[in-house]
C-alpha cells in the first residue's frame, strides 16, 4: 500500500468562517474533498475521470478533530494519504497544517466505498486499483 | 398571472454567518431556493415532482439587495411571488422580513428558464403552466 | 445526566445536494448544528443566549457514519441527546431518520468544549450546567 | 479610477455542485469573494488587513447572470475589476471564464459600502482610498 502524502494548499474564504471568527467545522469537509482531488492529480488522474469510468467513491464515514485555530485568509496545507484499504473501501487520513499560524490544527479521516453505476459496493477492479496504488510522480502529476 | 405571495419561515443557522457576525451574502441564495420550494407546495406540487416529470428550472440570473441585518438565530420570513412570465422563463421576486428585528432586510429576484432533459430551453408546456398558474390553496397545499 | 432526546425536522435543500444526487457529506454538520439549537430550545433557552452570557461551545470533534440515502426534498429528523459530560466538555449524539424513505440513514456525534471570552476551556459554571441539565418540557420549550 | 483587471483561478469543488450536475448558483458568491481577495493581493494588501485597520466592506447588492455551464473539477478564472466608485461605496464587476470549456459563463457585480467599527457607512478615508486606487503590480503583489 502506497502511503505517500499529498498536500493541497488552500486559502480560507470569508464565507467559510462563522461569527465565532473561525472556520465553521462543516467547511473542513470541503477542504478534505479538495485534498482528495489533489491526491488523485498527484498520481496522474482525476476523481472526475473515475466517475467518467462509471465509479464513485462516496464518503461513508468522517471524523475530524479540531485542535487549533483556522481563520479567514489563513493559508492551510491539507496533508492526505491512504491509511487503509479493504476489498471495496479506502480510508484517507488528513492533517491540516496552518501555514499562517505555524500549527497543526486538525486531524481527520474519511472512509469511502467504491460503487458502480447502481450505487452498490463493488470489489475494487484492476483498472481502479492500478490508479489508486500509483506513487505520486512529478512527471505525471496533473496541475 | 397569479401573483399570490407565499411565505417560508427560516431560522438562521450558525454556519450561515461569517466573522462579520451577519449571515453571509451567498447563503441567502439557499433561502430563496427554499422559498421556491414553499411556493410550489402552497400550490399542491413540489419542485422535485417537476424534475421527476423531466423538467428543470435552473437559475439564469439573481439579484439581491441587502439593506438590513440578518443574524444567527433570527427567524426570517422569505416572501416570494411570481413577478413575470415569458415563453420559457419565469421571474420570482423575494422580500425577506426579519421577524426577530421587525425589519424588511432584503429584496431580490431570480430568473429561471424551463429546460427539458437536454438542458435546452423549452416553451412552458400545458402540464407545467397549469401547475405554475395555480392559486395557492390551504386545501391542496403540501406540508 | 439527562439523556432525553430532542428532534429537529429539516427539509433537505437543493443546494445541499451534489452531482451524485445525494446530500453532500459536509452539509450534515449544519443539520447537527440546527439540532443542537432545537435541543436548547426544548429546554427553554437558546444557544444564542449562552453566547450572550459570554460562553461558547465550539466543536472539537465530529464523527458521522452515512449508511443510507438522503436526497433533495427529503424530510429528515435529526434526533439528538447528550451522550457524555466531562468537566468542561459535552458530547452530543445524533441519529438521522429519513421520514421520506423510512430509514435511519446517519449516526454521529460531536464533542464540544465550553469556553469563555478568551476562548479557553473553563469548568462548566453553575448557571450553564443548570441549563444543560434541564429536562425538555413542552411548557418552557421555545418555538 | 484604476480599472485594471485581476484574475483568480479556482478549481470547482464537488460540494459546490448540486444534483443538476452544475455548480449551485449560490456558490458563485464565494468565488466572487475569493476574487476580491485576489484583487487586494495584486495591489499589495489583504482584505484582512482592511478589517484589522477597523474597516469592513459588506456586500449591499449582488447580481449574477449564469449563461454557461460550470461543472465539477472545471478550472475557472474569475476576472474582477472596479467598475464604479462613490463617496463610501465601490462596485466590483466580475466575469467568469471557464478554462475547461473555453467559454465565458457568468457575469456579475457586487456593491459594497465601507463601514467603520459601528457598522455605519463612512466616507472612504485617505488610507483606504490609497490602497484601493493602487495599480496592480507584480513587484508588490502578495502570493
Instruction: Give the DSSP per-residue string, D98-138.
Output: ETTTTEEEEEEEEEEE-B-TTS-B-PPPHHHHHHHTPPP-T
Would you call D67 an interface residue with chain B, using a CB distance cutoff of 8 Å? yes
Strands A6-11, A75-85: pairing kind: antiparallel
Sequence-ordered strand ranges (E) for chain B: 6-11, 59-66, 75-85, 89-98, 103-113
Residue/partner pairs of A112-118 with CB below 8 Å, 24 or more apart:
A112/A57, A112/A58, A112/A59, A112/A60, A113/A57, A113/A58, A113/A60, A113/A88, A113/A89, A114/A55, A114/A56, A114/A57, A114/A88, A114/A89, A114/A90, A115/A55, A115/A56, A115/A57, A115/A58, A116/A54, A116/A55, A116/A56, A117/A54
Taking an 8 Å cut-off on Cβ atoms, the answer to whether A59 and C22 are in contact is no
Strands B59-66, B75-85: pairing kind: unpaired
Contacts of A24 in chain D (CB under 8 A): none
pLDDT digits (tens, 9 = 90+) for B19-56: 999 999 999 999 999 999 999 999 999 999 999 999 99
pLDDT at C97 over 90: yes
Question: Do C91 and C82 meet the contact criterion of CB atoms below 8 Å apart?
Answer: yes
Beta bridge partners of D79: D7, D95
Residue A1: the pLDDT is: 73
Contacts of A116 in chain C (CB under 8 A): none
C-alpha cell of residue B28: 441567502
Confidence of residue C1 (pLDDT cuts 50, 70, 90): confident
Nearest CB partner across the interface for B33, out of C13, C37, C47: C13
Output phi, psi for B59, to 5 deg: -75, 130
Chain C residue with Cα closest to B10:
C10
Confidence of residue D62 (pLDDT cuts 50, 70, 90): very high
Beta bridge partners of C92: C82, C110
Residue B1: the pLDDT is: 73
Using alpha carbons, select from B35, B19, B2, B14 the residue that is nearest to residue B107: B35
Neighbours of D117 (CB within 10 A): 9
Taking an 8 Å cut-off on Cβ atoms, the answer to whether C21 and D17 are in contact is no
Judged by CB atoms within 8 Å, which residues 75-104 of D form the interface with B?
A: none
Taking an 8 Å cut-off on Cβ atoms, the answer to whether C66 and A56 are in contact is no
- Distance (Å, rounded) from C-alpha A30 to C-alpha A16? 10
Would you call C69 an interface residue with chain D, using a CB distance cutoff of 8 Å? no
Using alpha carbons, select from A107, A87, A111 the residue that is nearest to residue A97: A107
Using alpha carbons, select from A25, A4, A3, A23 the residue that is nearest to residue A15: A23
Confidence of residue C2 (pLDDT cuts 50, 70, 90): confident
Confidence of residue D63 (pLDDT cuts 50, 70, 90): very high
Taking an 8 Å cut-off on Cβ atoms, the answer to whether C73 and B11 are in contact is no
CA distances, D115 to each of B24, B65, D57, D61, D124 (Å): 16, 17, 6, 15, 9
- Distance (Å, rounded) from C-alpha C57 to C-alpha A113? 33
Residue D60: the pLDDT is: 98
Kindly report the nearest CA distance between residue C14 and chain D, in angstroms: 7
- Distance (Å, rounded) from C-alpha C80 to C-alpha C77? 9
Strands B75-85, C103-113: pairing kind: unpaired
- Distance (Å, rounded) from C-alpha C39 to C-alpha C132? 9
pLDDT digits (tens, 9 = 90+) for A98-128: 999 999 999 999 999 999 999 999 999 999 9
Read off the pLDDT of each residue in D119-125 and give the average, rounded to a whole number.
94
Nearest CB partner across the interface for A27, out of C20, C26, C66: C26
Question: Do A76 and A109 meet the contact criterion of CB atoms below 8 Å apart?
Answer: no
- Distance (Å, rounded) from C-alpha D36 to C-alpha B26? 14
Chain A residue with Cα closest to B21:
A19
Neighbours of D10 (CB within 10 A): 18
C-alpha cell of residue A22: 473561525
Chain B residue with Cα closest to C11:
B34
Residue A119 φ/ψ region, left for φ over 0, alpha for ψ in the -120 to 50 degree band, beta for the rest: left
Nearest CB partner across the interface for A59, out of C25, C30, C60: C25
Taking an 8 Å cut-off on Cβ atoms, the answer to whether C19 and D18 are in contact is yes
For C111-136, the DSSP string reads EEE-B-TTS-B-PPPHHHHHHHTPPP
Output phi, psi for C8, to 5 deg: -115, 130
Using alpha carbons, select from D56, D46, D28 the residue that is nearest to residue D143: D46
Confidence of residue B2 (pLDDT cuts 50, 70, 90): confident
Q: Subunits touching B (CB < 8 Å, at least 3 pairs)?
A: A, C, D
pLDDT digits (tens, 9 = 90+) for D77-117: 999 999 999 999 999 999 999 999 999 999 999 999 999 99
Contacts of B48 in chain C (CB under 8 A): 72-73
pLDDT at A9 over 90: yes
Question: Do A45 and A57 meet the contact criterion of CB atoms below 8 Å apart?
Answer: no
Q: What percent of chain C lies above the pLDDT cut of 90?
A: 93
Please state the domain extents for chain D. Answer: 6-132
- Distance (Å, rounded) from C-alpha C100 to C-alpha B142? 14
Residue D18: the pLDDT is: 98
Chain B residue with Cα closest to A24:
B15
Read off the pLDDT of each residue in C3-19 and give the average, rounded to a whole number.
97
Read off the pLDDT of each residue in C103-122 and give the average, rounded to a whole number.
96
Read off the pLDDT of each residue in A78-84 and give the average, rounded to a whole number.
97
Kindly report the nearest CA distance between residue A40 and chain C, in angstroms: 18
- Distance (Å, rounded) from C-alpha B91 to C-alpha B89? 7
Would you call D13 an interface residue with chain B, using a CB distance cutoff of 8 Å? no
pLDDT digits (tens, 9 = 90+) for B64-97: 999 999 999 999 999 999 999 999 999 999 999 9
Question: H-type helices in C45-142, by residue range?
Answer: 47-52, 126-132
pLDDT at C46 over 80: yes
Output phi, psi for B78, to 5 deg: -100, 110
Would you call D6 an interface residue with chain C, using a CB distance cutoff of 8 Å? no
Which residues lie below 8 Å from residue D17, measured CB to CB, with a gap of 6+? C18, C19, D23, D24, D71, D72
Residue D49: the pLDDT is: 97
Taking an 8 Å cut-off on Cβ atoms, the answer to whether A13 and D29 are in contact is no
Residue C30: the pLDDT is: 98
Beta bridge partners of B85: B90
Would you call C72 an interface residue with chain B, using a CB distance cutoff of 8 Å? yes
pLDDT digits (tens, 9 = 90+) for A13-35: 999 999 999 999 999 999 999 99
Buried b (16+ CB within 10 A) or exposed e, B61-82: bbbbebeebbbbbbebbbbbbb
Question: Do D133 and D124 meet the contact criterion of CB atoms below 8 Å apart?
Answer: no
Average pLDDT, chain C: 96
Average pLDDT, chain D: 96
Q: Subunits touching C (CB < 8 Å, at least 3 pairs)?
A: A, B, D
Nearest CB partner across the interface for D21, out of C15, C19, C26: C19
Q: Which of D16, D29, D56, D112 to mutate to test the interface with B (most CBs of B within 10 A)?
A: D29
pLDDT at B3 over 80: yes
Contacts of D21 in chain C (CB under 8 A): 19
pLDDT at C44 over 80: yes
Beta bridge partners of B108: B64, B94
A-C Cβ pairs (cutoff 8 Å, strict): 54
Which residues lie below 8 Å from residue A49, measured CB to CB, with a gap of 6+? none
- Distance (Å, rounded) from C-alpha B45 to C-alpha B127? 12
- Distance (Å, rounded) from C-alpha C72 to C-alpha C44? 31
The CATH architecture to which C6-132 belongs is Roll (3.10)
Nearest CB partner across the interface for B14, out of C13, C15, C33: C33
Read off the pLDDT of each residue in A64-86 and give the average, rounded to a whole number.
97
Taking an 8 Å cut-off on Cβ atoms, the answer to whether D64 and B61 are in contact is yes
Question: Do A48 and A112 meet the contact criterion of CB atoms below 8 Å apart?
Answer: no
Taking an 8 Å cut-off on Cβ atoms, the answer to whether B15 and A21 are in contact is no
Confidence of residue D31 (pLDDT cuts 50, 70, 90): very high
Amino acid at each position: 500500500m502506497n502511503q505517500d502524502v499529498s498536500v493541497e494548499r488552500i486559502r480560507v474564504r470569508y464565507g467559510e468562517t462563522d461569527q465565532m471568527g473561525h472556520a465553521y467545522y462543516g467547511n473542513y469537509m470541503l477542504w478534505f474533498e479538495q485534498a482528495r482531488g489533489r491526491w488523485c492529480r498527484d498520481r496522474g488522474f482525476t476523481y472526475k475521470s473515475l466517475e467518467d469510468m462509471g465509479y464513485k467513491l462516496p464518503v461513508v464515514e468522517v471524523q475530524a478533530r479540531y485542535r487549533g485555530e483556522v481563520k479567514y485568509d489563513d493559508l492551510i496545507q491539507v496533508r492526505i494519504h491512504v491509511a487503509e484499504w479493504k476489498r471495496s473501501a479506502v480510508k484517507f487520513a488528513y492533517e491540516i497544517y496552518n501555514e499562517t499560524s505555524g500549527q497543526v490544527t486538525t486531524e481527520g479521516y474519511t472512509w469511502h466505498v467504491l460503487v458502480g453505476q447502481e450505487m452498490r459496493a463493488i470489489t475494487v477492479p484492476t483498472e481502479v486499483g492500478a490508479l489508486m496504488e500509483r506513487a505520486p510522480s512529478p512527471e505525471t502529476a496533473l496541475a
